[in-house]
Amino acid sequence: MSETQPDSVVRTYIDTHRTAFLDDLAEWLRIPSVSAQPEHAGDVRRSAEWLAAKLKETGFPVTEIWPTPGAPAVFAEWPSEDPSAPTVLVYGHHDVQPAALADGWHTEPFEPVVRDGRMYGRGAADDKGQVFFHTLGVRAHLAATGAAAPAVHLKLLIEGEEESGSPNFRALVEERAERLAADVVIVSDTGMWSETTPTVCTGMRGVADCEIDFHGPDQDIHSGAFGGAVPNPATAAARLVAALHDEDGRVTIPGFYDGIAELSDAERALIAELPFDEAEWLRTAKSHAAAGEAGYSTLERVWARPTAEVNGIGGGYQGPGGKTIVPASAHLKLSFRLVSGQEPYEVEAAVRDWVAARVPAGIRHSIVFGAPTRPCLTPLDHPALQSVVRAMGRAFGQRVRFTREGGSGPAADLQDVLEAPVLFLGISVPSDGWHSPNEKVELDLLLKGVETTAYLWGDLAEHWKPATA
Amino acid sequence: MSETQPDSVVRTYIDTHRTAFLDDLAEWLRIPSVSAQPEHAGDVRRSAEWLAAKLKETGFPVTEIWPTPGAPAVFAEWPSEDPSAPTVLVYGHHDVQPAALADGWHTEPFEPVVRDGRMYGRGAADDKGQVFFHTLGVRAHLAATGAAAPAVHLKLLIEGEEESGSPNFRALVEERAERLAADVVIVSDTGMWSETTPTVCTGMRGVADCEIDFHGPDQDIHSGAFGGAVPNPATAAARLVAALHDEDGRVTIPGFYDGIAELSDAERALIAELPFDEAEWLRTAKSHAAAGEAGYSTLERVWARPTAEVNGIGGGYQGPGGKTIVPASAHLKLSFRLVSGQEPYEVEAAVRDWVAARVPAGIRHSIVFGAPTRPCLTPLDHPALQSVVRAMGRAFGQRVRFTREGGSGPAADLQDVLEAPVLFLGISVPSDGWHSPNEKVELDLLLKGVETTAYLWGDLAEHWKPATA
């Protein structure tokens, strides 16, 4: 409520604490919590301990380190004084991608520096900076309300293995589901359209992937002696790939699109009003052309349409020169991006049937699926989404637009297990260099993130009374 | 002519010299002339020297060792006393495949043994045995005619790099074309249908092969962020492969079949009368089904029809597990078996055009062809072929049938450079184990080879007066 959280109080509070906040973030960035590198396992633990201590210092009455078979997660909880307030679970991660000066960093990746209004360092944007804005944010919220506790029941779950594929995350969430129970999940591990266009992400695609092996002759055989008279498993693999799409770029697997809600005119209009520059997008994609399902724009294709993609194909002789064989085997790695309405296990069954029906006589095949990730989609009229949009609009002083993400993430596990809608609140921008050398965060945007959360909890408590509360 | 070469004289001569002949062959087999293994380079030279000396002892007035940048070839010449007699060039090779006891040999591969009417040892059939029957054969021919020189101008070219892909062979033939000039080339490096079905091979397929590289994004890109909106080079490669054939298994490249003479009813009847057992053929092929161009039998497909075959395909991630990328590149290795009437360079041009027209926007490609091998086909009514059939029929006492080979060989270089028809005279059988452990030659068949050539030179001189003679 703007009455109890005057924006000037919030801004003054942030200004006053800005230096200490940035110093603290820099201290955290100095811990090289690289989850993919076993030699940094101690650093990942140290990062969890550092964060837990900082959250305690922030005021969270409950801070815990949750071990996993891999790296530990941090959990914190700060209940509202109003028992009927909504419960919000914030998700982020405290582990980071590997980084070394030799990769092209201008300064040491784990010695953060502030230059030209940016803080450079591994994890500045992905994801320590975006986790950290919640600490000063909740303090600014309290400064504005004068209350001793936030207006919502606030929980944080900050995992330590996101950059390693979150191998233990779902099990952790399932095991701790009662502690994590929430009315809404807010994921702070995405970004905005650009420095000048604040946006809220409203969905991520899901993904299902499989490996298919094709076995033809019992060994590579002579293409002179036998070629033209026996089936070739590499040809079988290639024909399957070629048959995946029709001429309009639509996936041909029967049932693949079942259950998908078509984009509404309103949703298409929201996407179309973004200042999209296809040439710039292609430069980012490092692709030399755009291509995809007919009838959809590039953004619609990557955000709102499911795909079938060949991630890898192999078979026969791949060394230098030629080798005149009919190969004994071939293999495919396919992945399917999924959108809201698609059930991964139904897609898997459809793929299995479609493949089995197309493999020719004389070729044996096997197909193995990995664990799928479900798609997430926040309905545009969800009250919590409206609160995020309002809070962000106040912080940025601009109309907030909507994006989605084409990728897939562990947020879907939270949605599945906790049966709560997922929202995305991030202030990172495409130039921040996630997973690249010279990762940075824009300090102005980081502080807008602080300000957004300072407004958000009050707005949410005021406008939303979830049935379960 | 049967008058001047009574079969009994030939047979008695062979019986008398059989033991010495086999002892000599065994001595040659003891030289491990493995051209593919640099440590045996000295043995390959020793093999050439041994053969040259033996040919001199046989009576060839000219025996020479022809060096190449690799292993040496042996050339021998024995002119007829009749200047108008046809000139015959016999082709074979004195190098052998690698072999080691550990590969599954029952006895040392380079310590030949005779057991159950067979001589076991590396090179017994491929190709020393089949080169060597020409030595006793020409002596038996002279014994029968009582002449001091063969009825034809006889030349032998026995190369030393066939098992290494004959890298220097064409250049050698081009350089020595005048010395090698012949009215007909007889290749003794193939086989017969079976122990009980003597056959003459009348053709080999040619081959053209290429590598095609496809480049999409400048690096592997995230299939979540970009998938569905950019072209995938692995998909492009797969679609090309899938488009190679129509539903009838015919190659779709425009012009591919241009110039090919369809099999005549007579030719099809000759193939159909062979005692072909498809189940047995599939066991040999190690394939679990037969498949190919509609309207042709398996033997017609491998002997008389051109093909397009994927020898290798690769692109994207091929390691364990999954990786959700749109790959930066993909590659294909294709080979095309060619039959008489197809010009390799025209096929190459057709393939280039067809590929270029099918690669989608945003994918760059490059295509590189290897050196092609032309197909060979002996017309069934060629007088030299008729002589071979008669000579073989006399030796075997059976009707001689016709086969072809699906593979491709250096014989085509002789045909091209010397502009002479190529015939195939071999007595090896499928069970001889070429390139496998326990290679052997059937002694009865080996001596039938001796006998065939003992009759052949006289028959050829009697029935054929080439225009150039």
For residues B103 and B99, give the distance between their C-alpha atoms in angstroms, rounded to a whole number.
Answer: 7
Contact yes or no for A412/A376 (Cβ under 8 A): yes
User: At A344, which amino acid appears?
Assistant: P
Residue found by looking up tokens 């790939």 in the block: A241
CA distance A227 to B336: 9
β partners of residue B159: B93
**What's the confidence (pLDDT) of residue B468?**
58
How far apart are the C-alpha atoms of A275 and A296, rounded to whole Å? 17
Residues listed for chain B: 469
Cross-chain CB nearest to A315 (options B245, B291, B312)? B312
Using the Cβ of B224 and the Cβ atoms of chain A, whether some distance falls under 8 Å is answered with yes
Residue A341 CB partners (closer than 8 Å, separation 6+): A258, A259, A260, A261
Nearest to A287 among B314, B323, B362 (CB): B362
pLDDT band at B272 (very low <50, low <70, confident <90, very high): very high
- Of B348, B369, B390, the last residue of a domain is B369
Q: Does some domain include residue A430?
A: yes
* Residue A294 maps to a domain: no
* A413 falls within a domain: yes
CB A452 within 8 A of CB A427: yes
3 state SS of B42: helix
Q: Best interface-test mutation with A: which of B205, B235, B337 has the largest number of A CBs within 10 A? A: B235
Rounded mean pLDDT, B95-114: 95
ipTM of this predicted structure: 0.90
Instruction: Indicate if B386 and B450 belong to the same structural domain.
Output: yes
| B292 part of contact set with chain A, CB < 8 Å | yes
Element (H, E) at A240: helix A233-243
pLDDT the model gives residue A2: 43
pLDDT tens digit sequence for B194-247: 999 999 999 999 999 999 999 999 999 999 899 999 999 999 999 999 999 999
**Tokens standing for residue B214:** 């496809």
Q: What is the mean pLDDT of chain B?
A: 95
- Please indicate if any CB of chain B lies within 8 Å of the CB of A234: yes
In a domain, A459, yes or no: yes
Q: Which of A230, A245, A286 sits opposite B285 (nearest CB)?
A: A230
| Pair (B126, B216) in one structural domain | no
CA distance A189 to A425: 7
- Counted domains in chain B: 2
Same-domain status, A420 and A362: no
**Domain-terminating residue out of B347, B369, B391:** B369
φ/ψ bin of A222: left (φ > 0), alpha (ψ from -120 to 50), beta (otherwise): beta
Residues 236-255 of B with CB under 8 A from A: 237-245
**Helix, strand, or coil here: A367?**
strand
Could you list the residue range(s) of the whole structural domain that residue B218 is in? 206-260+306-369
Q: Does A230 touch chain B (CB under 8 A)?
A: yes
> pLDDT tens across B337-355, in order?
999 999 999 999 999 999 9
- Rounded Cα distance between A438 and A434, Å, is 9
pLDDT higher than threshold 70 for residue B4: no
User: Is A285's Cβ below 8 Å from some Cβ in B?
Assistant: yes
Return the residue of A nearest to B210 by Cα: A322
* Number of Cβ atoms within 10 Å of the Cβ of A147: 16
Average of pLDDT values for B63-75?
98
Residue B268 belongs to a domain = no
Check residue B318 and report its DSSP letter: -
Q: How far is A79 from chain B (nearest CA, A)?
A: 36
What is the structure's pLDDT at B290?
97
| Residue of B282, B305, B311 with shortest CB distance to A317 | B311
Give the CATH number, domain containing residue B164. 3.40.630.10
d(CA A334, CA A355): 12
> For residue A381, is it within any domain?
yes
A285 and B217 in contact by Cβ < 8 A?
yes
Q: Domain of B346: which CATH number?
A: 3.30.70.360
Q: What is the pLDDT of residue A1?
A: 42
Q: Which of A369, A391, A422 is the last residue of a domain?
A: A369
Residue B148, number of CB atoms within 10 A of its CB: 8
Task: Give domain status of residue B72, yes or no.
Answer: yes
CB contact under 8 A, B322 and A370: yes
A226 and A163 belong to one structural domain: no
Q: What are phi and psi of A256, to 5 degrees?
A: -60, -40
Cβ separation A291–B231 shorter than 8 A: yes
> Which residue is closest to A292 within chain B, CA to CA?
B229
Are B345 and B381 contained in the same domain?
A: no
CB pairs under 8 A between A and B: 296
Would you say B218 and B319 are in contact if contact means Cβ atoms under 8 Å apart?
no
Query: Which residue in A310, A373, A405 has the most chain B C-beta atoms within 10 A of its own C-beta, making it the best mutation to test that interface?
Result: A310
Best CA proximity match to B21, nearest among B449, B424, B438: B449
B1 confidence band (pLDDT: 50, 70, 90): very low
**Residue B112 · residue B29 · CB < 8 Å:** yes
B15 lies in the same domain as B65: yes
Are B173 and B84 in the same domain? Answer: yes
Using 50 as the pLDDT threshold, list the residues of chain A that sit under it: 1-4, 469
Same domain, B162 and B38: yes
Please name the residue that has the structure tokens 């056959």.
B199
Same domain, B129 and B33: yes
User: Considering the domain boundaries, does residue B239 fall inside one?
Assistant: yes
Same domain, A330 and A196: no
Non-local (6+) Cβ contacts of B138 within 8 A are B58, B59, B78, B150, B154, B453, B454, B457
A212-235 residue pLDDT tens: 999 999 999 999 999 999 999 999
CB contact under 8 A, B224 and A408: yes
Residues from chain B that touch A245, judged by Cβ atoms under 8 A, are: 235
How distant is the Cα of A292 from the closest Cα of chain B, in angstroms?
5
A120 and A18, same structural domain?
yes
User: Do B99 and B146 reside in the same domain of the chain?
Assistant: yes
